[in-house]
Amino acid sequence: MLVYLLHAPLAQNTMESFFTFLEKRVDDCSSLLCVGLDPHVSDLEYPTAESALRFCLNLVKQTAPYAAAFKPNAAFFEQFGAEGWMVLKTVIQAIREQSNRLGSMIPVILDAKRGDIASTAEAYAKSAFETLGAHSITLSPYLGKDSIDPFIGNPEKGVFLLCKTSNPGANDFQDLLVESAPGSTVNVQRSTPLYEHVARLAQTWNIRNNIGLVVGATQPEALTRVRAAAPDLWFLSPGVGAQGGDLGTALKAGLRKDGKGMLLPISRGISRAGSPSQAAAAFRDEILALQRSIQ
């Protein structure tokens, strides 16, 4: 294990939280690699939930030693109906079993991009954390803080808020310039992009050390701005590989001063490799080498 990764300071307290668990895992496996579990029908032996299960279990088994986290995408399981939902639960259980085997908890980030309020949000939180057993979930923050409150009451469960996403259409809304709204808890200057305002709000909301941000690796300028706005937060940064994001550029723009603070999700670059285990190890090692050069 390389030792140049340092422990990041906790946000406002020293209690156990989602990100203290994540940082322990990062240290245990010397990795910032997040393995995506996206059972595309075109990648399966048969277009069935059972085939999706075999596909994901193989990936989990091969890549667990190199994964700082796993990120199953709910949509690829939901497409199989109720049976797919049971497959997702089984896959999360398999990750827990690999964690026990390795003696190190591998967090599961449910990529579901939920966004609702009140009892609906509470039901989504119960589904993700209690029924499925995920440790974290991706959320849309655009209904306001009360829409994420049901997900962050337990410090040991985390969220990643959509901030600056990696898709081409992200600019349609996320780059709009904003000013402070009446009642806002964060003052913004004129000509502040909406995504930067989201980052500043998230930084203030992170009182339990369990809020992170989704900031695409395809957006290096945005990564730099968001890191300045939210110096303490963890980023989930998709877009390396199939979407064209450059790994070195993204790490240079988004890493915290302690060399942590980013998870790099890789899905097809691992699942479609001849040996997912070797591909995961190679990505892990490339990330480590770039971290060291940046440090």
Exactly one of 24, 61, 113, 252 is catalytic; which is it?
Answer: 113
Contact by Cβ (8 Å): 71, 105: no
pTM: 0.91
For 253, counting Cβ atoms within 10 Å of its Cβ (0-12 exposed, 13-18 middle, 19+ buried), the class is buried
Is the sign of the CA dihedral 127, 77, 168, 135 positive or negative?
A: positive
Question: For the residues 260-272, what does the mean pLDDT come to?
Answer: 96
Residues 6+ apart with CB under 8 A from 182: none
Distances (CA, A) of 177 to 35, 87, 169: 34, 42, 16
Q: Is residue 157 among the annotated active site residues?
A: no
Express each pLDDT in 73-129 by its tens digit. Answer: 999 999 999 999 999 999 999 999 999 999 999 999 999 999 999 999 999 999 999
Express each pLDDT in 51-78 by its tens digit. Answer: 999 999 999 999 999 999 999 999 999 9
